[in-house]
Structure 1
Amino acid sequence: MSPRRHALSVACMSLLVWCASTLTEIKIGVVLISDRNLVYGYHRVAAAVDMAVDRVNRDILNSSYRLVTVMRWYGPACDGAEAPGVAADLYYNHRVVAFVGPGCTYSLDPTARLASYWRVPIITGFGDSGRFRYKAKYPLLTRLAYCQCLMRQVFMSVLSYFRWTDITLITDRSELHARGLGESLDEGFQIGGVFPNVVSYYSHENFEYADLLKQASRKSRVIFFAVPHGAVRKFLLAAYDLGYINGDYVFLDAALVESRDDYDVRVLSVSDGEETWYRGDDNDVKAKAAFEALLRLRLFWPPTDVFETFSKEVKQRALDDYGYDYGSEKVRPTSEYKCVVNFFTGSYHDAVLLFGIALNESFTDGKNLSDGYAFSKRMWERNFVGVTGDIFMDDIGDRKTTYVITDMNPRTGIFEPVAYYWGSNPGYHPVAGASIHWPGGRIEAPPNTPRCGFENENPICFEKDTRLIIPVTSMAVVIVFILFIGGVVAFFGYRRYNLENQLRDMSWIVKIEELQDLPGNRDRLSRQHSNVSSIVRSSLFSADQECGQQIFSNVATYHGSTVVLRDIPNNNIAINRSLLIEVQTRRKLHHDNIVLFIGAVMDPKPTFLLHEYCPKGSLQDLINNDAVNLDDMFKVSLIGDLIKGMGYIHDSDIKVHGNLCSSNCVVDGRFTVRITDFGLPTFYKPLDENNVETTTSNKSIRRLLFSSRLVSSRLVSSRLVSSRLVSSRLVSSQLLWRAPELLREPKGPRGGTQAGDVYSFSIVLQELIVWGEPYEIELVTMEIDGKDWPDSSVGYMQCLDIIKEVSAGRTPPFRPELPKDACTQPLREMLEMCWTEDELQRPDFATVRRMYRKMHRGKETTIMEKLVTRMEAYATNLENVVAERTQLLVIEQKKTDVLLYQILPRSIVEQLKNGQSVAPEVYDNVTIYFSDIVGFTPLSARLNPMGVVDLLNNLYTAFDGVIEGFDVYKVETIGDAYMVVSGLPIRNGNTHAREIARMSLKLLLSIDSFEVPELPDYKLQLRIGLHSGPCVAGVVGLKMPRYCLFGDTVNTASRMESHGMGTSCTIVHDIVGCNPMHRRCSVDFPCVLVTANLYQSTHLDDSSAPVGY
């Protein structure tokens, strides 16, 4: 090499060395398990971690810093011994600033605790146990996968959506992951108010899958599986053999450890924990049918090109850098399926990515990495995009995971999404256009409770013995035939006999003396004032009625009940067989929407018809009353009543109303519509029109007027008609509701037709919808004899024009107006069908009722039922609120108990809760601990008050954490004094001295590392005094009760502490035995033995504990 080129090479190498020396390396320790069969194992995850580090260095960190990994593995077993040792080596020897991993629970638990002790953040791509939600123990842990404890919210959304409340949870107690999932779901369901029937088993014991399913079926039809690999298929095959795949049962499980390739039924059908029906054995057909009843919960990440590219690169780098071939590695040694890149490979990548983002922000803000708590907070409550999709972190460092609920397509055998549970938007969100394939041909979800009950206890489903079906059936057929013939003969004979008896029953004839408050008595008539524009509501008039007054209904009292009196237009009626049949046919009609016919006054001549009294008046009264404004609920009920009443009339022997209008539809006290003025054609037979003088020019309209039962004989014969004072409203009260074909044929069927009734119903329906008259007619008044009367010359001609237009049959036909926004489109369509011109195209009332029920989801309820339903819903809501508050009360009670257990011993608290008095108790031998801080008074003077509070809080929090590992009871703290006892309230034999001594030495060790934030160079010294002996303990006080100790042992222990030295334990030599100690001095105390001092090194292991303790 030439000197020139050599000099150039040296210069380049020097430049590279200089550049490397200017970079600051940030080391993170990666702790992974070496089990090749685990989805989060070292061989699968390491390459993804390296890729994330490369991306952080390339795209996130600035050029002054470089992230590097120190990767270690442990295992292959998941235990709590090796992983924390690996973490300690990385922390002490490699000075890492954070940890990534481990994934399994038993390894993550101690490692996360150590990390919090070192104040080092720890991030994992798995760690699904619910225990890690408790940040008091794992304050620096961040998880990028999911938490079993939150899966209950996903399943609760499914239960709520399908209204399932009775569920069974089948769990394998012998498998770690299954047991943890089962316990989390059991606890979570109970928090949500659902108490599952738990069926547990141990896989190493003898059991039958069918027996477990039978046990579950006694309590529910919704069954959750929390079981290990392979068990779900076995359970479903057993369910198939039991006949449970019939649509009455639904099964649910969680297949969270999976890969995207699992959507192919044959490729990796059991990959990485995913389990499908396919095995390539003789049971595949049965298994595929059984899996139709399974809803499966999966982790969701979007099928993007980013993940596909990531997957390919992971496979290549795993092969190049770690010798792991995804193409040849199998899921399990006994499996024929290959491993793939899964969700957890991506979650470890995203964990490093999240650390890099937080790291760059810390450097940008000028913060260092010494405060692990502050750094962890940067990774929480934030969103970012990783290879597993959009990631949302909650406020305690857990990912808000998104799940997908899948159902197997029976045709392809592949599980497909039917609903999502978004981490950022919790709840059951069905996939648009997707439906669940329920087995057994069911088109909707199985009900919570089967029709026959869980154990077929419903009597309607009792099975019958079928051995004698054929002979019994044959005999029954013969007997039934004989009985049928005899029954027919008897029926018609009885019917004729009964009819004759009914015809002979004259109880319907009412004597006029039986009526009270007769209409002839003006002072007792029911009168109501109204303005001139009011419409006459009934057919009953008084010839001497004063102008401006109106009688809505003449009422009387008959046998203690109020009845309505209707004037009989035709007084020339003879009681014959035909009339008796009419009366009996009308009397036997009983229906909630029909006015009851009571009888008639026939002596000395036919005068009145008596009907049931409805106090609310007619529909026309309500519509014309400006003070009445009903909401849609009332209108819906009124229309339904009208449909049911007319349907009943058409199905009865009467067949036709013939005179339906809003004035013939009355409303009773329960706001139920009841139809009146139908049947009894002999009583309503009109007079001969030629006997009436009239000036009406239109003979056809005049004929209609007489054929309509509208005008009574007295009114027609009076000067009102001859003077053309029959108002337009009087005419319209009948003719405007009449069907066009009947208007065109005045001499047609006098009783009307069913099609005509349907038309009349449509006009009434239009009135109810718009809450007004069918045709807006202007009413003009004229003065006659000094009084205002309706000028029928105006209103009459308006009605005449309307009737002519309707009867003309034009295209489109002339009908009342119906605003576009007055009703729903289905109701409008039904209305237009009812008033169509062609009577053959009009529906019957059975069809109308079906259409109306369909509009209201098949429900038919009265107004009172709707009000009751509202009250029931309100009561149910109150019950739910009470249940929720009760559950909150139970939770708060538990919190109260925890607080009480911290104030008083558990045994004392239980006695107080049970109302028992707590008497002082004598203990023969206990050991008491006292300690304080040397120089606490001058130290307090150097700190501000808040600093003193923070110092004592942090110190005693550390002490409380230490004493949890010993059989001791913390009595109290006063200032810097700390008092602990062992041997009470629960006696522990002779071990109390040993527990206190070991605890004391542990406290001496812990205080060495304690720092005063405001005085970092100041070292606290703990002075301890111990003594053993008898004492008395009891509860003192009522408002703030305290558990106090009394006796010379307490005083002696206190003196040991006050005469002791810093960083030492002072004890009485008589209780020490043969323990090595240094005698300091002799001190005389009143009633106390001589004491000695024991010095003990803070570097203490279990073997150095005092022998005599």
Structure 2
Amino acid sequence: MSFLLPCPNSLLWVLSRHIKLQPFNNGNSFKTFFHALWWLLLGIIAVSPPVHCSIFKIGLLGPWDCDPFFSKAFPHAAARLAVERISKDPSLDLGQRLDYVVLQEDCETSRALVRFIDFGKFSSAFVGPLNPGFCEVATLLGENWNKTIFSWTCINYKLDSTTHHPAFARTLPSPTQVLFTVMKYFNWAHVGIIASNQDVWMDTANKLASALRNEGLPVGIVTAMGKGEKGIEDTWNKIKKVGGIKIILLCMHSVLIGGEEQATLLTKAQEMGLTDGRYVLIPYDTLLYSLPYQNNSFYALDNDTKLQEAYDAVLTITLESGNRSFYDAFREAKENGEIARELEATQVSPLFGTIYDAIYFMAMAINSARKKGAWVSGVNITEHTKNVSFPGFSQWVETDSCGKWLSNYVVLDTDGHGSQLFPTHLLDMSLDDVRSLGQDIHFPSGAPPKADCSCWFDPDVLCTGGIEPTIMILGAMLVFALVLCAVGLAYLIRHSILNSQLFRGPNKIILTLDDLIFINPELHKKRLTLDSLTDANSVAAETRSQKSPTRSFSLKSTAATHETSNVALYEGDWVWLKKFETGAIHHLRQSSTSILRKMKDLRHENVNLFLGFFSDCGIFAIVTEYCSRGSLEDLLRNEDMKLDWMFKSSLLMDLIKGIRYLHHRDFAHGRLKSRNCVVDGRFVLKITDYGYNELLEAQKCPYIQPPPEELLWTAPELLRDPDTRRKGTFKGDIYSFAIILQEVVVRGPPYCTSDLSAEEIIKKVKKPPPLCRPNIAPEMAPLECIQVMKQCWGEAPERRPTFEEVFHKFKTINKGKKTNIIDSMLRMLEQYSSNLEDLIRERTEELEIEKQKTEKLLSQMLPPSVAEALKTGGTVEPEYFDQVTIYFSDIVGFTTISALSEPIEVVDLLNDLYTLFDAVIGNHDVYKVETIGDAYMVASGLPKRNGNKHAAEIANMALDILSSVGTFKMRHMPDIPLRIRIGLHTGPCVAGVVGLTMPRYCLFGDTVNTASRMESTGLPYRIHVSQSTVDTLRTLNEGYEIVPRGKTELKGKGVEDTYWLVGKKGFLKPLPKPPEIKPGHNWSGMLTRKLKFVLRNTKRTLTKAAFKELGSMKETEMSIEEEEI
């Protein structure tokens, strides 16, 4: 905190005010001495210099550098003037030295808030911010810091609540309240707002719109001012599209203090004919200061006729300053030397006075707090802004008992042709009243815009835009009546449609004798023959016209009627009729039809499908699908049917899924037992008799006590309550399921292991203890299944599991496997089919892979185009190539190496070497023709032509091969360097495929022979190049290094000039150094001696044949090496 110790004068005041001396009992002399000492101490304190006086620093917060109009308020000068006058005011005792600091808000709201957080350590209190966008957050931070915030721009009405924001105070009346008072006086409710693009003005516009809407006023549009002339025109077009607007608030700097944006906006409005009186334009910023209007001609209106005409549609609202204007007050301060003399009043924004008044107001609040003995802090300063009065910069300032400013405002208007503004109305903010000053407002059209309904300004009335409440009520009643009629009509139509659907249509519910053909019940034990069905249909057709209770037909001498049979044919399918007791139902009630529709909507594979309700000849029955396997009870009693656990588990899972579905559809069965579970031909269990009890309830049938044998599946709580027994419950169905589970496990009736009668069992179940339940041997079912069964027949209904829980437990028991028998068989077939498909797919993929391998091998042996032609069975025509370059190379001394090596070693040598060559040629545009022994033949320019690049491709490849051979080692003779000879020649040739068995792509022509001669007459580690190849390389001009060899005799060609290719510019790979061989040297004999030397050192054993071969090599080596390839 910045207020640490009071100044000496204030300390003297505190001591003299608060310290009281207590008299001593030991005499007046001591008392007199003590008083003298006391006043001496006070004198010392009084004359001591105020070097330890604390400072109360006010932070003046605003976007002063964001545009020139804020900086024209000269916040430094205004704050300095206020602080100086406060320090000289003898009526103010602040207890500390008052100081100020000007703080710069960021121009962007988000950054301004971040910066404000950093300002907390610079000030003891704040005047500002000027941006309403973060006023509320700044106030909350001020409360947290215990620092008060005085502001005149904050618009949020919540800030006026001292309960929620005790550290905030306004230094002017609320701008929203001022605007609301004027709008209420003129009955102008519909508002539009245009704002400058700066954040401070856009946030002002949005907050202002929210505040006016909170007052109940319709704000039609809030828009930013467009850029450029086209943008401003678009802005006005947006305003025009919103109907009913009376007032347009301009959130930007007023044109009267030099605001160029407002001047441009008004001029464009005048050009568009929008200043004809349809709108009243009100500048917002003039509400925040006292505009010097007294006897003042505004320069902006003097020199611009268009703007002068446009401003006739503007009403200016500003602080009333009486006979002493802002300019007068400023000049007076200047004359007194309180303001720099070079500063003219017309250069200063009237916001100067607002800043001055805010700082002086805070000083008055601090003084009031100190006078009342309160500590000078954020909340205390705000609390002492009540009933304050002081001389403002240009007018007298007062606040009421709530701290609300009582400053008055005036409405200013032009006379239609001048540049002066005249006061027309006075706003008394103490009474929220507007009084005319005798000067009429000059409206451009001669009359004000049409007034809106006064209900907009009545907080107790919901306004609808001027419609009379009586008309609104009548309209609402009419609409309500129409809605009721529509609902009633829709109900009648729907009721009629539903009733018609009961008796006809594809989904009809009520069935009669015309819909069913009754058959002998014994037919469910055998199949109907085609003849039988034909006879039945023919008889039914003959008797369909007869409406008689005794109607029947003969089916192979077996009679069946609706009275004697429960089985019938419906739409060609067998159906079962669950008949009601005779006399139980006399007619179908309306409430029953809704139950029947609900039953009709049930669709599940484990719920027996409800097909309709039979009602004819006094017989009423539920019609469902016929299941040929009978009930679950029948299946369990059939000893010929073998039931293993998988079979039983399948039936139980079907039962669980069916009841779970009914419970999800809010259907409690209430009659669940094994004879109400039927099994179809696919051994799928389905639940039937659902909805039977609901129909009895809907028909209000009397309750008939069933025999004890029928109650063995009923839960104990239902046995005790007959009323609930008929309706059934979800927990009661769980109990019934447990008894059925016992039946399935032991394949016997309920309580079959007990010797008690059914009547005795029911009595014990109704009145435990002891708890009466079936006894199950542990080995008859999985332990988990028995545990589930015991949980389901628990005595307390709330402790029984739900069917959802039972379903998941049974899935765990079955380990997630499907247990339906038919599904299991189908699943096996599907798995077999799937495996077969996978096997076929794998074989097909393998064949495709092998095909790709074959094609790849073929493409490696022959050119792709040739290979494709041969695969299709076509013939390959020979092709002439006018320019190709052919490469030949062989191994120097290969005959000697072969003689000194095992055959497998020779194969390994050639394989290693040619694998190396193959890797090299893969990087060049060349085609490998063939290999014969140690000879390696490559060509470029065929089978794919490449212009004259063939010589360069072969030359580059030859250099790469020679470089790679320099580091090549023979596996069995690593110490012997492998040397090769390379020959290159360029010329024409013919290529074609020779033979049908093992076809080969061969080259023909003199070029091939010449290239071979270039290789055979070459030297180790040398690339021997012919004249034609040299010429081609030189035309490419790629920097090949070629050295003349001189005249060379070529067999069959005579003597020709040949050359050595020794490198290329930019080729950095190392090349092996050729051996120095002088003319006449036998380099073949030198190689033989080298081999003998190495072998002797390695102590290699040679056979006699090998030595004999070596002996004859000296004479034959040269001839062998010069053999034609």
Q: TM-score, normalised by structure 1?
A: 0.39
Q: TM-score, normalised by structure 2?
A: 0.38
Larger radius of gyration: 2
